Amino acid sequence: MNSQTGKPEPRRITILGSTGSVGESTVDIIQRNLSAYKVLALTANRNWEKLVQQAKYLSPQLVALADPAGYKKLSDALAGTDIRVVAGTEGLCEAASLDSDWVMAAIVGAAGLRPTLEAVKRGVVVALANKECLVSAGTLFMNAVAAHGATLLPVDSEHNAIFQVFDFKQKNKIKKIILTASGGPFLKWTESDMGAVTPAQAVAHPNWSMGAKISVDSATMMNKGLEVLEAHHLFGMPSEKIDIIVHPQSVVHSLVEYDDGSILAQLGSPDMRIPIAYTLGWPNRMSALSAPLDLTALGSLQFEAPDPVRFPALRLARSALQTGGAAPTILNAANEVAVERFLAGKSTFLDIASIVEKTLSRMPNQPPETLEDVMAVDAEARRIAGEIKIFGEAAE
């Protein structure tokens, strides 16, 4: 509280991955509530131009670019301002270490793990979009959250929905949690048609506008598999108490079923600004500035069981959770490489799950205990996944 104005002090914010889809939606809400927030740091991978635009508007203390190649251009563009420019993983960690009260973790992939853990170590509020942190290093990550007294708020729409209706005080009365899945753009496609899918088709999600990697994950349904692992760590639920149900309209964002037969759900338009605003305002509600949901215009909502045959990624993720140890780290890293190979036109859509499965079968399962162990397993899984021969290449 400011002693002179009597108004609350602005919340000090850091956005890791500010130039991405979740990052931009976060910036959008902040820009429309400028008096309530003070942005301390922004980070990006390569997109220095967008970082410059955001920095000129939000005047952070520091901006960090993961890829040092763009450092000079970024520095030159911000010359004459008070904004400090840093680069590389150390630069991202420096951004995460600044003294903000609230951090949006919206880097994509395991690349976000180190900087997000830096934020966790400060014991502040961490809004977590970067689900790969929990998939790759879930136990380690949740132990750090507990050890440092951080407040972890899920941004992923399903987990945010569950968070809103999950009675933490009566967890023993929760029968199961039910994650909804849109099913992605190929929900009704045959397996042979899915073999010819192009990257452009795979990133065109029917309901959500998202970054390329998560869009492909949604199309393979690996995204839902990753979300089972994410839910397991966030809510401490075993695999058998986490169900998946396909709901093509993406309006019911997830559900919690209690012993008495009650099922609580959170509904809303498919707009990430809603869960982001939930975490930005937390513990209070604030406007997300999104279009209201008109249920009468929708008329009806559909639900169906997922198809494990056309979407083998679901089985792979579930089995990695049950196997434990290094398996989730390997699954995540191999999937990141397989998605990159597909997006680069170097493998087919159906190769994604098979690259992940082969990588899992070729690596020993030595449970990682430290962050360095996780990074070593991650690097080895990337190496193996990158070398796996696929149909059309020379025989293995």
Binding mask 190-229 for Mg ion (x = CB under 5 A): ----------------------------------------
User: Are the C-beta atoms of 91 and 64 separated by less than 8 Å?
Assistant: yes
Question: Residue 214: which of ligand NAD, Mg ion, none does it interact with, CB under 5 to 8 A by kind?
Answer: ligand NAD
- Residue 22 or residue 327: which is nearer to ligand NAD going by CB? 22
Residue 264, classed as helix, strand or coil, is strand
Look at the chain and count its residues: 396
State which residue has the least CB distance to ligand NAD. 20
Please, which residues have CB within 8 angstroms of residue 386's CB and are 6 or more apart in sequence? 337, 341
Among 118, 156, 351, 378, binds Mg ion (CB under 5 A): 156
How do strand 102-105 and strand 11-16 relate by DSSP bridges? Answer: parallel
How far is 343 from 203, CA to CA, in rounded Å?
9
| Least gap, CB of 156 to Mg ion (angstroms) | 4
What span, in angstroms and rounded, lies between the C-alpha atoms of 340 and 199? Answer: 10
Q: Residue 344: is it exposed, middle or buried by C-beta count within 10 angstroms (0-12/13-18/19+)?
A: exposed
Which x/- pattern over 254-293 shows residues binding ligand NAD (rule: CB under 6 A)?
Answer: ------------------x---------------------
Residue (of 233, 234, 212) closest to 223 by Cα position: 212
Q: Which does 22 bind (CB under 5 to 8 A by kind): Mg ion, ligand NAD, none?
A: ligand NAD
Helix, strand, coil percentages in the chain from 3-state DSSP, rounded to 5: 50, 15, 35
| End-to-end Cα distance, the chain | 65
Total residues contacting ligand NAD by CB under 6 A comes to 27
The answer to the question of residue 45 lying near ligand NAD (CB under 6 A) is: yes
Do 181 and 132 form a contact (C-beta atoms < 8 A)? no
Candidates 94, 118, 132, 351: give the one binding ligand NAD (CB under 6 A): 132
Residue 214 touching ligand NAD (CB under 6 A): yes
Q: Which does 108 bind (CB under 5 to 8 A by kind): Mg ion, ligand NAD, none?
A: ligand NAD
Closest contact distance (angstroms) between CB of 360 and Mg ion is 23
Q: Which of 22, 87, 126, 222 binds ligand NAD (CB under 6 A)?
A: 22
Segment interacting with ligand NAD (CB under 6 A) among 6-14, 128-136, 180-188, 291-299: 128-136
Among the listed residues 97, 114, 90, 100, the one whose alpha carbon sits nearest the alpha carbon of residue 30: 100
Residues of the shown chain interacting with ligand NAD in the complex, contacts defined by CB under 6 A: 17-23, 44-45, 47, 66, 92, 106-108, 111, 129-132, 156, 208, 210-211, 213-214, 272
